[in-house]
Structure 1
Amino acid sequence: MHKPVTILAFLFIVTVSRVLGQTSGIISIDNVNLIPMTQETVLSNQRVFIKDGRILKIEPTSSPRTYEVAQIIDGTGKYLIPGLSEMHYHWRSKDIESDLKLLVANGITTVRNMAEFDGQNQVDIRRKTASGELLGLNYFTSGPYLQARDLASSAQVSNVVKAHREKGYNFLKLADNLPKDLYLTLLAEAQANHVPVVGHAQRNLPLEYSLRMKSIEHVEEFVYLSDDNSNPLLKQSAADLQEVAQQIKASGVYVGTTLVVFDFINNCLDDTKFSALQKSELTKYLVREERKNFLTERNDYRKLKNREFEGVKAPVLFSSYYAWMKDFTRTMASNGVNLLTGSDTYGMVIVGFSLHKEFELLQEAGLKPYDILLASTVNPARYLNTYPLEGTITEGKNANFVLLGKNPLTDIRNTKSIAGVMLKGKWFDQKALKQMLQEVEAAYK
């Protein structure tokens, strides 16, 4: 016959059961240098607990362990940052799974696709990443790449906007200039239907009109814009551009950087740099049929080498544009404009790897590493309305991290020293990330 359980013994059993219930599936990253992105700081020797895909608790490693855990990840000498965001991605290959692997292997846990091309169903891809059918990045998408012919009348504008709302796209992307009346109609219809308008600037209208969009997708767009007094920004003084940057900041618009794609174009116009592209080890991550399009004389930009625009040879003109873009990016950053890191993933702007190249170019342009990281963590989370759960490493947030071997705040190139990635609480060590890259390489042979 069993002895009756005393009240104290019963309470002890209940307490132990609760603790054991809490420890089930808990992971900890121990002794790690934490860069929370709530401020420019490094918190040394921290312990981060993860449970059910969320940050359960953060505490100093020197303190007694709050929870028993199922797995310990050694963060000694390493740096933990929030997952990175590729905010201007295009799915141009035939294999979305390979693209997702390239993104995760490069520490990217949030991606924004910027056009639905023919034969694609971007909303279905978003559904599959959310459900786990595909590798589960935070996936956002615009609708089709809209040009003037797609928005040629008020009725057409209304139909396009309603179709975006019904399909459930996150954004409507405008990729062309519209007459002022149709552009204003588009903004009004989109506002009424809760569909954010993003895209290229309205180059035939004063700057202020483009600032009415949620985001302008390339710094390049400002090369072609004029202020409200019809003065081209490209020809304005540094002092005047400070005022322009203040106007952009005051509007609240976000600006995508995408310097790397313009850098790629310039490299195509230079024989020596183009030869280096052809020999790049990253060609193995470019779909085979695309190698002929971008790494031979079939490349459209190679055909511009000897062309003149307004009496200036293309290589000289594009180089001057690029120098201006880098200067203006620095000006916007110093004035607090909300920047978003993106790369456009075009040609040898290879998915995943290109974001780290974008970081390097932004650092070369004069941005601080911390500000570059803000543009890839906090700013995207604010922009996408996910900040309650994304963008920083703090209790209650989603467990989307990158573990680095070196400190990115001293040199942004250290974001490439990836020791592991956590995606929605699932840990991918270096071996798993290497396997992803090998699978893509095999798929593209």
Structure 2
Amino acid sequence: MKTLKKYLLPCMLFLCYTIIAQTKIMSFENVNVIPMNIDTLITNQRVIIADGKILKIESATKIATNHVDVTIEASGKYLIPGLVETHYHLQNDIENEFKLLIANGITSARNMAEYNGQDQIKIRELAQSNAILSPHYYTTGPYLKRHDFSHVDSVDVIVNYHKKRGYDYLKIADNLPKDIYLKLLETAHNENVEIVGHGQRELPLEFSLRIKSIAHIEEFMNIFSKEERSSISYLNEAAKEIKTSGVYVSPTLGIFEMISKYADKEKSELLNNDKNNKYLPKHYSDYWMSEKINYRKNSWFTDEESLIRLEKELEWQKEFTLLLHKQGVPLMAGSDTYGLFLPGFSLHRELELIRSSGLSNYETLKTATVVPARYLNTISQSGTVSEGKLADLVLLDKNPLENIKNTKTIVGVVIKGEWLDREKLNNLLLEVENSNQ
């Protein structure tokens, strides 16, 4: 990751530019609005943006009552809220990865770990101050596993560290001893620190439902016994219990699908030849395209029966995703970005998999807009295309309510009130590509 010092001068220039850009009043003319508060399409609208917010939404057949500096002709296009990536991992250069997110219509991201050598609080400060082009940014602290909790008394030290640093969440990623887990829940509650992450696979389901959000649908597959996984009646009751708890769930189906792509020789060749790999640093992509990674050398993944098992497990996860949805469990799109599952691009694949689980296109789109906005406590300012909300928007060439794959037909993005058309987005991608050569 590049040193943070180099950003100081460019940051001030970018901030000045952003402030100037946001003083202009712009409008999308004749646009089709997908507001997302309900399942509908409002055609032929005028959406006026001023000072980084949606000032007015009105019929484009009316004479504009507001002065407009910049008019964006959007006939036949579709305007949706900015997308939210709820399971992001910084792997390489933060500036480049932010560009990939934004170029893919992602205007908010929840980072799910602070790895060694990273300063996620500083990155969040840069994002919040508009010092670099960035989405709205939220972050957990260090990736916590069993060995990080040496004894019960260590819980106080870890929670106090998280509170003092000011992380948005505390992330657990392992099975903890029961006494330590209960102490962690109690201490975090007393210190108003929210816990997110993996389930507790060695404890009954109810214990895992005491945290704010669960990061993978795979967690439930491993919490349940083999008999429970195959019992529809049990799974229905479990889904009701999950709903009652109020926990949010990110299916992260795409990263699980990637395992079989790495492990299968034919699929791995396609994966290695993906055109988007050019947006990764060469040393990083070389490793993930090599035979060194565990998914390509471990028979638990590569054997023929293993590939069949992985396929069945993914199908189970999709079926349980639908079951949770039917019970009203809030689902959030997150793609767990690492390896060849590139930031930005990966979220669109995640949406496709959630849709293939049986959700409608509208319900699928909610997992990347309305639901995470409620989770992040920003629903008053984001999540829908509504007057008074922040101008974080994506203009699409095709209707995602007809086909969720249309979220990829991005014409432009409004991020923090700034309009980035297709040419500017292409330039962002080119900058990332050139920096990795």
TM-score by length of 2: 0.93
Distance in 2 (CA, whole Å) between partners of 1:50 and 1:307 is: 50
Q: Higher mean Cα deviation, 323-332 or 168-177? A: 323-332
Task: Indicate which of 316, 323, 326 corresponds to 1:331.
Answer: 323
Matches within 5 A, 1:218-237: 218-226=216-224, 231-232=225-226, 235-237=229-231
Equivalent residue number for residue 418 of structure 1: 410
Kept in 2: contact 1:222–1:233 (CA 8 A): no
Task: Write the distance in 1 (CA, Å) between the matches of 2:65 and 2:178.
Answer: 61
1:225–1:232: 8 Å Cα contact kept in structure 2?
Answer: no
Paired position in structure 1 for 2:388: 396
Q: Which amino acid aligns with 2:153?
A: A
Contact map agreement 2:264 2:302 (CA 8 A) in 1: no
Could you say what the CA RMSD is over the residues aligned between the two structures, in angstroms? 1.6
Gaps of 5+ in 1: 1-22
- Residues 1:111 and 2:109 are matched in the alignment: yes
**SS of residue in 2 equivalent to 1:154:** coil
**1:273 to 1:66, Cα distance in 2 relative to 1, 3 A:** same
Q: Which residue of 2 aligns with 1:284?
A: 278
Q: CA deviation at 1:24?
A: 6.1
Map Cα deviations across residues 174-213 of structure 1 (whole Å, 9 max, x no partner): 0111111111110111111111000000000001110001
Query: Bigger radius of gyration, 1 or 2?
Result: 1
Q: Which residue of 1 aligns with 2:81?
A: 82
Post-superposition CA distance 1:152-175 (Å, at most 9, x none): 222210110011011000000001
> What residue is the counterpart of 1:427 in the other structure?
419
Counterpart Cα distance in 2 of 1:234 and 1:314? 21
User: How much does 1:33 deviate?
Assistant: 0.4
Q: Indicate the residue corresponding to 1:440 in structure 2.
A: 432
- CA offset digits 1:69-103 (Å, max 9, x no partner): 1101111100000000010000011x100000000
Query: Which residue matches 1:322?
Result: 314
Q: Residue by residue, what CA displacement relative to the aligned partner does 1:355-398 show, whole Å, maximum 9, x if unpaired?
A: 00111111222121111111101111111111110111111100
1:313 deviates by 3.8
2:62 alignment counterpart: 63
Q: CA deviation at 1:299?
A: 2.1
- Equivalent pair of 2:229/2:235 in contact (CA under 8 Å): no
| 1:324-381 deviation digits (Å, cap 9, x = unpaired) | 1111111111221101101111111011000001111112221211111111011111
Instruction: Identify if the C-alpha distance between structure 1 residues 215 and 442 changes in structure 2 by more than 3 Å, giving closer, same or farther.
Output: same
Distance of 1:268 and 1:208 partners within structure 2: 34
Amino acid at match of 1:90: H
Distance in 2, Cα, partners of 1:303 & 1:60:
59
Q: 8 Å contact 1:356–1:416 — kept in the other structure?
A: yes
> Which of 78, 98, 104 is the aligned partner of 2:96?
98
Displacement after TM superposition at 1:308 (Å): 9.0
Residue type matched to 1:210 in 2?
S
Does 2:220 match 1:214? no
Identity %: 46
How far is the alpha carbon of 1:239 from its aligned partner?
3.2
The one of 361, 386, 395 equivalent to 1:369 is 361
Which shifted more, 288-297 or 231-240?
231-240
Q: Which moved more, 1:233-242 or 1:297-306?
A: 233-242
Spell out, residue by residue over 1:262-303, the C-alpha distance to the aligned partner (whole angstroms, 9 max, x if none): 111011111110111111111101221122221121121001
> Could you tell me how far apart the structure 2 residues matched to 1:79 and 1:418 are?
9
**Which position in structure 1 is the counterpart of 2:6?**
none
Q: Contact 2:250–2:332 (CA<8 Å) still a contact in 1?
A: yes
Structure 2, unaligned runs of 5 or more: 1-21
Q: Does the CA contact (< 8 Å) of 2:89 and 2:113 recur in 1?
A: yes
Is the 8 Å Cα contact of residues 47 and 60 (structure 1) preserved in structure 2?
Answer: yes
CA contact (8 A) 2:204 2:223 kept: yes
Q: Which residue of 1 aligns with 2:156?
A: 158
TM-score (norm 1): 0.91
Of 165-174 and 128-137, more deviation after overlay is shown by: 128-137
**Match of 2:244, as an amino acid?**
A
Contact (CA 8 Å) 2:279, 2:433: kept in 1 or not? yes
Distance 1:296 1:375 in 2: 34
- The CA distance in 2 between the partners of 1:164 and 1:255, in whole Å, is 23
Aligned residue type for 2:155: V
Is 1:262 the counterpart of 2:256? The answer is yes
Q: Which deviates more from structure 2 when the two are superposed, residues 360-369 or residues 177-186?
A: 360-369
- The answer to whether the 8 A contact 2:83-2:106 is kept is yes
Match of 1:272 among 244, 266, 275: 266
Give distance in 2, aligned partners of 1:52 and 1:233: 56
